[in-house]
């Protein structure tokens, strides 16, 4: 491939900045400038930075059409998450962006709202000509749909486990994590453990957390009580507050609650405060996600902490490997780490 041709910067009649100018300013060869602009691997961070600074200072813009004709790479990775207002996804997006930046890529952020239509559009790539690869955190899409979409371009799925699909997908072990959260509560002497986040519709991480919850109770000889398993709408603070209101109104006694994400747990704690109940003295609370908010809430929230930085880095590594062709292994499952963070809300 030859280098992109220089062109005048806009219609201002300014003299065109050439690749040669950029190379001279950065103190590197024209070939190196081209390598940086085309996001080729194996360029040192220092060199990349010097070239990018020269590009900025000289306001150099390669001819986009020529660039696209000659090189399908845009340097853009799409990240599609259900809802950026859920702190877990904001923190994950920030981690993905940091990881992408380290390898000179930009992140195009899409919100799907967990809407199957929008997820399908993200997965199929309505703006497919603009992105090199996709990181998708699906809520609603079925495995068959995902498999089909992922075949058309490098795709990494987050947060689900489709053991039967030949797609790169990264997830923590949600069953084990759910079980550990409940075992922790059992070890502190809590026996009547409610659950917020019931979700019969989607086959996702939430269903696996519930499986862990049921396994831990059963292993402890405790019969799970359907009255203590509550749905959670959109998994936001309001949904957690309402679910706790309902649990308290139901009149069935319980002494702890495992909420399937932290915003639900924080909403549930708000409801408990409104009812004059103390956490953990009257009721213990455990969440899931380890969002920063739960480290500063009163009380601080015990939670399952997925390794968000690790997940982001694995996803980018996987995509980069597919794009460069260096990664030739069959697409499949890549496990990510998690740990239980014990804080004040379950007794500290």
Nearest to 315 by CA among 331, 297, 328, 292: 331
Cα–Cα distance measured from residue 206 to residue 86, given in angstroms and rounded to the nearest whole number: 15
Contact present, 190 and 284 (Cβ < 8 Å): yes
Query: In the window 79-118, what residues touch a copy of itself (CB under 8 A)?
Result: 83-85, 87, 90-91, 93-94, 97, 106-111, 117
In the complex, minimum distance from the CB of residue 69 to a copy of itself, in angstroms, rounded to a whole number:
4
Taking each helix axis from N to C end, the angle separating 205-219 and 174-187, rounded to the nearest 10 degrees, works out to: 40
In the complex, minimum distance from the CB of residue 236 to a copy of itself, in angstroms, rounded to a whole number:
8
Quick one: 53 or 252, whose CB is closer to a copy of itself?
53
Cα–Cα distance measured from residue 105 to residue 43, given in angstroms and rounded to the nearest whole number: 13
The strand pair at 168-171 and 155-158 is best described as parallel
In the complex, minimum distance from the CB of residue 122 to a copy of itself, in angstroms, rounded to a whole number:
10
Query: In the window 247-276, what residues touch a copy of itself (CB under 8 A)?
Result: 266-267, 269-270, 273
Quick one: 54 or 175, whose CB is closer to a copy of itself?
54
Q: Which residue from 38, 47, 52, 142 is in contact with a copy of itself, where contact means CB under 8 A?
A: 52
Quick one: 106 or 183, whose CB is closer to a copy of itself?
106
147 lies in the site for a copy of itself, by CB under 8 A: no
Cα–Cα distance measured from residue 190 to residue 321, given in angstroms and rounded to the nearest whole number: 47
Q: How many of the chain's residues bind a copy of itself (CB under 8 A)?
A: 56
Cα–Cα distance measured from residue 225 to residue 212, given in angstroms and rounded to the nearest whole number: 15
203 lies in the site for a copy of itself, by CB under 8 A: no
Contact pattern for a copy of itself over residues 164 through 193, marking x by CB under 8 A: ------------------------------
The Cβ of residue 9 has, within 10 Å, a number of other Cβ atoms equal to 15
Residues 6+ apart with CB under 8 A from 20: 30
296 lies in the site for a copy of itself, by CB under 8 A: yes
Q: Which residue from 28, 120, 141, 157 is in contact with a copy of itself, where contact means CB under 8 A?
A: 120
Taking each helix axis from N to C end, the angle separating 308-324 and 87-102, rounded to the nearest 10 degrees, works out to: 40
Q: Order across the sheet with 338-341: list the strands.
A: 229-231, 193-198, 256-259, 284-288, 302-306, 338-341
Q: Which residue from 6, 62, 159, 205 is in contact with a copy of itself, where contact means CB under 8 A?
A: 62
Q: Order across the sheet with 76-81: list the strands.
A: 106-111, 76-81, 133-136, 155-158, 168-171, 333-335
Contact present, 197 and 264 (Cβ < 8 Å): yes
In the complex, minimum distance from the CB of residue 25 to a copy of itself, in angstroms, rounded to a whole number:
15
Contact pattern for a copy of itself over residues 14 through 43, marking x by CB under 8 A: ------------------------------
295 lies in the site for a copy of itself, by CB under 8 A: yes
69 lies in the site for a copy of itself, by CB under 8 A: yes
Q: Which residue from 50, 179, 209, 236 is in contact with a copy of itself, where contact means CB under 8 A?
A: 236
Q: What is the maximum alpha-carbon separation in the chain?
A: 80
Quick one: 59 or 282, whose CB is closer to a copy of itself?
59
Q: Which positions touch a copy of itself (CB under 8 A)?
A: 10, 52-53, 55-56, 59, 61-62, 64-65, 67-69, 74-76, 83-85, 87, 90-91, 93-94, 97, 106-111, 117, 120-121, 124, 126-130, 152, 236-238, 241, 266-267, 269-270, 273, 292-293, 295-298
């Amino acid at each position: 491939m030859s280098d992109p041709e220089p062109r005048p910067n806009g219609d201002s009649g300014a003299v065109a900045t050439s690749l040669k100018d950029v190379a001279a300013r950065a103190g590197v060869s024209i070939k190196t400038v081209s390598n940086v602009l085309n996001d080729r691997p194996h360029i040192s961070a220092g060199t990349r930075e010097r070239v990018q600074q020269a590009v900025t200072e000289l306001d150099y813009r390669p001819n986009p059409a020529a660039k696209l004709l000659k090189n399908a790479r845009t340097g853009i990775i799409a990240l599609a998450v259900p809802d950026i207002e859920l702190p877990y996804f904001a923190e994950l997006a920030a981690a993905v962006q940091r990881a992408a930046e380290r390898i000179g890529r930009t992140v195009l952020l899409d919100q799907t709202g967990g809407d199957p239509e929008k997820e399908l559009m993200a997965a199929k790539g309505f703006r497919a000509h603009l992105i090199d690869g996709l990181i998708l955190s699906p809520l609603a899409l079925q495995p068959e749909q995902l498999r089909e979409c992922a075949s058309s371009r490098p795709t990494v799925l987050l947060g689900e486990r489709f053991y039967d699909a030949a797609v790169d997908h990264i997830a923590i072990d949600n069953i084990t994590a759910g079980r550990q959260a409940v075992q922790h509560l059992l070890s502190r002497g809590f026996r009547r453990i409610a659950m917020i986040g019931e979700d019969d519709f989607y086959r996702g991480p939430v269903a696996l957390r519930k499986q862990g919850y049921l396994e831990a109770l059963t292993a402890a000889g405790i019969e799970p009580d359907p009255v203590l398993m509550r749905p959670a709408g959109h998994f936001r603070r309001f949904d957690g507050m309402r679910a706790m209101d309902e649990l308290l109104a139901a009149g069935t006694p319980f002494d702890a609650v495992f909420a399937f994400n932290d915003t639900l747990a924080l909403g549930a704690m708000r409801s408990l405060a409104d009812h004059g109940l103390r956490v953990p003295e009257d009721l213990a609370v455990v969440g899931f996600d380890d969002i920063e908010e739960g480290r500063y809430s009163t009380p601080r929230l015990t939670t399952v902490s997925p390794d968000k930085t690790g997940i982001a880095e694995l996803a980018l590594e996987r995509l980069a490997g597919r794009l460069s062709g260096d990664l030739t292994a069959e697409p499949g499952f890549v496990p990510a780490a998690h740990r239980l963070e014990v804080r004040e809300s379950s007794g500290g």
